[in-house]
């Protein structure tokens, strides 16, 4: 049974909706430990002073913020505790906006929101009203002592909450010097038409289960084979494709390749995606844990 990571209430106006949050995603990655090549011993990290080279015990460590090279302002735990946001146990909705107005770059982690005891009717009311209005709720709440901006939206019969970045945490693209080159180029009508044909030929309904982390699967297969004592020959990575200077020729060749695939299967986008899939690693693969190598 799933365990909630937060419980409280959604607050909008004078209405409170008791809810619980559950993690909606489970990111997967292959994690390695760092070992000593000579004897296989696991390496341990030590906190060492950069001035005297001595190892520093935990009770002698303080927090410092660098305000200039090698100049720090010390901040105590008591000072930080006094500034912590109050754990109010409420998701305070401040406004409702159109979802199309939210750039996905602002989204962070996703959570399922479930009604807590006694909150089912208010939960259903809020979700139905938001569905009819076509609006997303923007609010704030405290999660693990940190104040979070969040978006609350109905999705498939449940409310979803996504934590969000604040406005000053997103970098504007105008800081990229390379974008200046766009002012000197322009695509002609024929190139745009060909690019649109290529896009339409690859169009397909989004089915996230069709996409897999093939690199992670290959790494786990490698680990499984080595754990079983197999000798594994390392194949060099394929060279990156050379740039094609003729844009039109590249578009035509891409479109021809897609049409060729379409002739071999009834669903071009789906068949093409499946054709690239690799076999899954066997379920018996070991599960490395620890720090990233």
- CATH assignment at residue 152: 2.40.290.10
Q: Please tell me whether residues 190 and 153 are part of one structural domain.
A: no
The verdict on residue 73 lying in a domain is no
For tokens 């094609």, name the residue: 244
**Claim to verify: residue 21 and residue 139 sit in the same structural domain:** yes
The pLDDT, as a whole number, for residue 243 is 65
pLDDT confidence of residue 248: 83
- Other Cβ atoms closer than 10 A to 61: 9
Query: Pick from 132, 255, 135, 121: which is nearest to 201 by CA?
Result: 255
Domain shared by 92 and 202, yes or no? no
pLDDT at residue 270, as a whole number = 45
Q: Are residues 18 and 118 located together in one domain of the fold?
A: yes
Domain coverage including residue 266: 186-229+249-288
How many domains would you assign to the chain?
Answer: 2
What is the residue-wise DSSP string for 133-171?
HTEEEEEEEEETTEEEEEEEEEETTEEEEEEE--GGGS-
Exposure string of 136-146, with b = 16+ CB inside 10 Å and e = fewer, is bbbbbbbbeee
Contact between residue 10 and residue 90 where contact means Cβ atoms under 8 Å apart: yes
Task: Provide the CB-side half-sphere exposure for 251 (13 A, CA).
Answer: 15
Q: Read off φ and ψ for residue 110, nearest 5 degrees.
A: -115, 145
151 and 192 together in one domain? no
pLDDT at 265: 59
> 107-115 and 158-164 as β-strands: parallel, antiparallel, unpaired?
antiparallel
- The alpha carbon torsion through 45, 49, 55, 60 (nearest 10 deg) reads -110
Burial (Cβ within 10 Å: 0-12, 13-18, ≥19) of residue 134: exposed
- Are 277 and 204 part of one and the same domain? yes
- Both 152 and 191 in one domain: the answer is no
Q: What's the pLDDT score for residue 17?
A: 94
- Per-residue pLDDT of the chain in tens (293 residues, 90 and over written 9): 789 999 999 998 888 999 999 999 998 999 999 999 999 999 999 999 999 999 999 999 999 999 999 999 999 988 988 887 666 789 999 999 999 999 999 999 999 999 999 999 999 999 999 999 999 999 999 988 788 999 999 998 999 999 999 999 999 898 888 888 888 888 889 889 999 999 999 899 999 999 999 989 989 999 999 899 998 887 777 766 666 568 788 888 888 888 888 776 554 444 444 444 444 444 444 444 444 44
**Based on the domain organization, do 13 and 131 belong to the same domain?**
yes
Do residues 271 and 222 share a domain? yes
Q: What is the pLDDT of residue 87?
A: 62
State if pTM tops 0.85.
no
- Burial degree of 221 (CB within 10 A; 0-12, 13-18, 19+): middle
């Amino acid at each position: 049974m799933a365990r909630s990571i937060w419980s409280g209430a959604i607050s909008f106006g004078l209405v409170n909706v008791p809810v619980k949050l559950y993690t909606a995603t489970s990111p997967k990655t292959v994690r390695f430990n760092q070992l000593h090549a000579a004897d296989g011993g696991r390496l341990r990290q030590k906190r060492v002073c950069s001035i005297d080279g001595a190892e520093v015990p935990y009770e002698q460590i303080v927090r410092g913020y660098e305000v200039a090279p090698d100049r720090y302002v010390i901040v105590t735990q008591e000072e930080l505790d006094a500034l912590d946001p109050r754990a109010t146990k409420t998701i305070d909705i401040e406004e409702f906006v159109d979802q199309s107005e939210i750039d996905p770059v602002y989204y962070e982690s996703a959570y399922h929101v479930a009604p807590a005891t006694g909150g089912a009717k208010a939960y259903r009311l809020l979700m139905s009203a938001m569905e009819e209005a076509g609006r997303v709720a923007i609010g704030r709440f405290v999660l693990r002592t940190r104040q979070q901006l969040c978006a609350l939206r109905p999705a498939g019969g449940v409310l979803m909450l996504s934590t969000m970045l604040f406005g000053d945490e997103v970098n504007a693209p105008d800081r990229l010097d390379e974008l200046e080159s766009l002012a000197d180029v322009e695509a002609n009508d024929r190139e745009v038409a060909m690019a649109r044909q290529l896009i339409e030929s690859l169009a397909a309904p989004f089915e996230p289960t069709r996409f897999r982390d093939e690199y992670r699967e290959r790494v786990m297969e490698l680990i499984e084979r080595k754990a079983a004592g197999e000798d594994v020959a390392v194949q060099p990575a394929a060279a990156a494709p050379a740039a094609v200077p003729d844009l039109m020729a590249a578009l035509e060749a891409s479109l021809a390749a897609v049409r060729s695939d379409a002739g071999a299967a009834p669903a071009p986008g789906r068949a093409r995606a499946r054709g690239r899939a690799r076999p899954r690693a066997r379920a018996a693969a070991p599960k490395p844990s620890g720090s990233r190598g």
